[in-house]
Amino acid sequence: MARITASVYTSHVPAIGAALDHGKAHEPYWQPVFAGYEYSKQWLREHMPDVVFLVYNDHATAFSLELIPTFALGTGAQFPIADEGWGPRPVPSVIGHPELASHIAQSVIQDDFDLTLVNRMEVDHGLTVPLSLMCGQPEAWPFKVIPFAVNVVQYPVPSGRRCFQLGQAIRRAIESYDEPLNVQIWGTGGMSHQLQGPRAGLINAEWDNRFLDRLIEDPAGLSHVPHIEYVREAGSEGIELVMWLIARGAMADVAGGPKPRVAHRFYHVPASNTAVGHLILENAA
């Protein structure tokens, strides 16, 4: 049986990827950001999964106003790196796990969540920056990745409650897969940031840290926070944080198991226009 052993949460700022790709990670502006992931890279080497189920959002790269899937599951064998305007990032392409992804599609859709299935898709910074933060700059990503793209760009976006319930269905799906795979689920995007309008540059460290506290201690209660609170308190792009509730919903305690262990917590302001938040939660063995 496959098992979800841990969940990882992290922001996905594109400039972080550019800093790494252009050898600027040791500059004074970036050093504190990457320092927050030093422990995480070591932790990942010691807790290497077979597959990462990576919840992220596409930024009008693979999708656009022509096609807006709320929840899109990557069932393909491979996902090329997107060109977001400066050429594709110089990182390895993403290798999928079509067998597990097809099983998840079967299970989650029969469990009443109507997913979109994507066999061909390029992946943008929403997916590649979390990989870079956790893995550094390897020749090939050290595990398979099932991309799961959530629409948090064009209203209406899914509620935190729906995301949390979906995470529970994803857990049921993964844990009914008949092969002993070590699976991690990552929730990415956020924390507070607003890239547009008069409030551009908004950061709310107090709200972000309360979100981290509640994600650990009270995810069910947190899942009832309405969209308007994310946008008011964490800025228009702060809504990306609903994706963290998918990963949190897939942890064992939500299904009556033991509480997860907090392996790592990090918060730093700013990276580009964004507050960087990061958390690693481990399920009991």
Tell me which residues touch ligand DHB (CB under 6 A).
Answer: 12-15, 59, 193, 195, 237, 272-274
Return the number of the residue (208 or 237) whose C-beta is nearest ligand DHB: 237
Return the number of the residue (182 or 236) whose C-beta is nearest ligand DHB: 236
- Min. distance of Cβ 88 from ligand DHB in angstroms? 17
Among candidate residues 97, 125, 268, 278, the one labeled active-site is: 125
Measured at the alpha carbon of residue 281, what is the angle toward residues 279 and 285, in degrees to the nearest 5?
A: 160
Q: Does residue 224 have an active-site annotation?
A: no
- Min. distance of Cβ 271 from ligand DHB in angstroms? 7
Residue carrying the six token digits 């305007």: 85
Q: Does residue 125 have an active-site annotation?
A: yes
- Min. distance of Cβ 63 from ligand DHB in angstroms? 14
Q: What are phi and psi of 140, to 5 degrees?
A: -140, 145
- Min. distance of Cβ 77 from ligand DHB in angstroms? 27
Among candidate residues 103, 193, 268, 278, the one labeled active-site is: 193
Return the number of the residue (51 or 94) whose C-beta is nearest ligand DHB: 94
- Write the CB contacts of 45 (distance below 8 Å, at least 6 apart in sequence): none
Residues annotated as catalytic are 125, 193
